[in-house]
Amino acid sequence: MSNMIRIEPSPHGPVLHFEGELTIFQAGEYLTQLRALEAGEESLVADLSATTEVDGAGIQLLIALRKQLETTGSRLTLQSPSPAVTEALATCDLHEHFHMESASAPC
């Protein structure tokens, strides 16, 4: 699986599908893509079901995105976090700092 963010429009705001690794090796490239989306979005959903690995830089990227969205009154939802994401958030004691939903829940 390649590392990428696939973006799909939805009525409630873009859904970002993070596929592959979310590590320091992708963070800079992903940040550039994500900054282009932030302005004016009411909400963003990050589908993390296909994320295979997360490190500190990946967690920082999610935190930065959440904080930026909150400054404009927007919201970041982590949808279907993979075991790698769940474990990384729990290890950093950050799981309660993100709004999370399963894929079956409405966005």
Domains of the chain: 4-101 (3.30.750.24)
According to DSSP, the β-strands at 15-22 and 4-8 are antiparallel
What is the pTM (predicted TM-score) of this model? 0.86
Helices (H), 11-74: 24-38, 56-71
Distance, CA of 66 to CA of 22 (rounded, Å): 16
The whole-chain average pLDDT of the chain stands at 87
Residue 105 has pLDDT above 90, yes or no: no
